Amino acid sequence: MLRWIIFIVVFLVIDFYAFQAFKTVVKNNWLQMVYWLITLLVIFNFIFNYYGFDRSNGFSHVHAYAFGFFIALLVPKMIVLGFMFAEDVFRVPQAIYRYFTEGNAAQGNYFASRRAFISKMALGIAAIPLASIIYGIYKGKYNYKVLKYTLNFEDLPDAFDGYKLTQISDIHSGSFDNLDKVKYAVDLINEQKSDVILFTGDIVNNKAEELVPYKEVFNKLKAKDGLYSVLGNHDYGDYVKWESDEAKHQNLEDLKNLQKEIGFNLLLNESKFLEKNGERIALVGVENWGAGGFKKAGDLKKAARNVHENDFKILMSHDPSHWEREIINDDYHYHLTLSGHTHGMQFGIEIPGWFKWSPVKWRYKYWAGIYKEMGQYINVNRGFGYLAFPGRVGIWPEITVIELKKGKPLA
């Protein structure tokens, strides 16, 4: 109860400043009432859905939208708060000084006009994230982008020169609310006509049953050399309160069977070889291994036990912290690692090829796109779906297409 009281008090302080700016610019009493009506509806909806909330009981679409609309309201008001509070820091001392040196009449118009200017500027800037978040909730989460890369390797087998793979990650099928958009994305994947499709974990949020409505969509995925997958941290059902250990185990078995029905060859700390014209490359799949308290079921040595040191290797590992902590320094030299997990935090600013930023960079060194260390590459996919926040802002859902070329790597 105490945390909710603190939450309400903090939000009232934020809203005090936000409303000061709003009423300075908007004089209409009815619009001011609408302001408070929307605010109260969003806040009470959030409290209603999250008071006593236990993540282990599941996270529904209702929870997601309650959270999404709360964020849509909070972020712009925080921006307004920053402007108005900063203005008060300068305004109040000046007001006191002018009162004692010039009198009350001399200062009134000056400070009133400046407050109006700051209010307009604050509201104008706050409107940008407001519009972006609303767009992200209704459109951005299905704004699929195909990102294409060409990577050169001197030791790539000749038969695989020009070989194309498509990577998808973090489907989180339990979050979807638009079947047609998912069908569109699957068609987009097939349009790439890659030789192989690789999925790097988190096909559900928690339970295998989330995937059932989308099984007939994802089983339309096609690639000449097949579909391969690994498990992510959400696939094990660790975040749910199960009635028994047997139920949890059965959920994982159901998930494995559903992936098989879709057409995925699930690699559980094991490897397969992709062969072409008498040559081969090794495809190694580890179970989830994540730093910072995440599940560490991945066993790199076990997964690669049938792989020769000199084989060309593609590794699938859900969490990019695995690459940083274990894979880069492994004696086997994994040419290309494919990961996901971060979602790019589903929020950021990105100009492809020029600039990318997201708060998730403070948690993960490798969080989106291609990175190269010690002659090895990793691609961190931004994710196909979404989780918790029902949208994406600036960091769009991703379908990665990587072409392997024989040749000297670019600097």
Whether 182 maps to a domain, the answer reads: yes
Residue where a domain terminates, one of 87, 117, 138: 138
Sheet order of strands, 227-229 included = 145-153, 398-406, 163-168, 196-199, 227-229, 264-266
How much is the pLDDT for 99? 62
pLDDT tens for the chain, 411 residues long, are 677 788 888 888 888 889 888 988 888 999 999 999 999 999 999 989 888 777 777 778 899 999 999 999 999 999 998 888 777 776 666 666 666 666 555 555 555 666 788 888 889 999 999 999 999 999 999 999 999 999 999 999 999 999 999 999 999 999 999 999 999 999 999 999 999 999 999 999 999 999 999 999 999 999 999 999 999 999 999 999 999 999 999 999 999 999 999 999 999 999 999 999 999 999 999 999 999 889 999 999 999 999 999 999 999 999 999 999 999 999 999 999 999 999 999 999 998 888 999 999 999 999 999 999 999 999 999 999 999 999 999 999 999 999 999 998 876
Residue 109 burial class via C-beta count within 10 angstroms: exposed 0-12, middle 13-18, buried 19 and up: exposed
- The Cα 195–Cα 227 span in angstroms is 9
Residues 77 and 176 in one domain: no
Whether 411 maps to a domain, the answer reads: no
- The Cα 265–Cα 23 span in angstroms is 60
Residues 163 and 293 in one domain: yes
Whether 373 maps to a domain, the answer reads: yes
Looking at the structure of the chain, the number of domains it has is: 2
Residues 384 and 282 in one domain: yes
How much is the pLDDT for 110? 52
Residues 42 and 181 in one domain: no
Residues 13 and 160 in one domain: no
Whether 400 maps to a domain, the answer reads: yes
Closest CA to 346 of 383, 299, 307, 308: 383
What CATH number is attached to the domain comprising 171?
Answer: 3.60.21.10
Whether 57 maps to a domain, the answer reads: yes
Range of the domain at 116: 2-138
Residue where a domain terminates, one of 138, 165, 189: 138
Whether 392 maps to a domain, the answer reads: yes
Contacts for 404 with CB less than 8 Å, ≥ 6 apart: 151, 153, 156, 160, 161, 162, 163, 164, 165, 336
Whether 355 maps to a domain, the answer reads: yes
Contact 318, 169 (CB under 8 A): yes
Whether 229 maps to a domain, the answer reads: yes
Residues 6 and 132 in one domain: yes
Residue where a domain terminates, one of 138, 166, 199: 138
Closest CA to 268 of 197, 326, 316: 316
What are the tens digits of pLDDT across the range 41-53? 999 999 898 887 7
Residues 125 and 267 in one domain: no
How much is the pLDDT for 255? 98
Contacts for 28 with CB less than 8 Å, ≥ 6 apart: none
Residues 162 and 298 in one domain: yes
How much is the pLDDT for 84? 81
Contacts for 78 with CB less than 8 Å, ≥ 6 apart: 14
CA-based torsion, 53, 58, 62, 63: positive or negative: positive
Residues 220 and 281 in one domain: yes
How much is the pLDDT for 108? 52
Report residue 21: phi and psi, to 5°.
Answer: -65, -45
How much is the pLDDT for 233? 97
How much is the pLDDT for 8? 81
What are the tens digits of pLDDT across the range 61-103? 899 999 999 999 999 999 998 888 777 776 666 666 666 666 5
Residues 208, 213, 215, CA angle at the centre, nearest 5°? 75
Residues 124 and 176 in one domain: no
Taking the CA atoms of residue 398, residue 399, residue 403 and residue 404 in that order, the dihedral angle to the nearest 10 degrees is 70
Residues 362 and 319 in one domain: yes
Which residues are bridge partners to 270 per DSSP? 285
Contacts for 347 with CB less than 8 Å, ≥ 6 apart: 136, 358, 359, 389, 392, 393, 394, 395
Residues 40 and 69 in one domain: yes
User: Residue 214 is encoded by which pair of tokens?
Assistant: 């989308």
Q: How does 22-56 read in b/e, with b if 16+ C-beta sit within 10 Å?
A: bebebeeeeeeeebeeebeebbebbeebeeeeeee
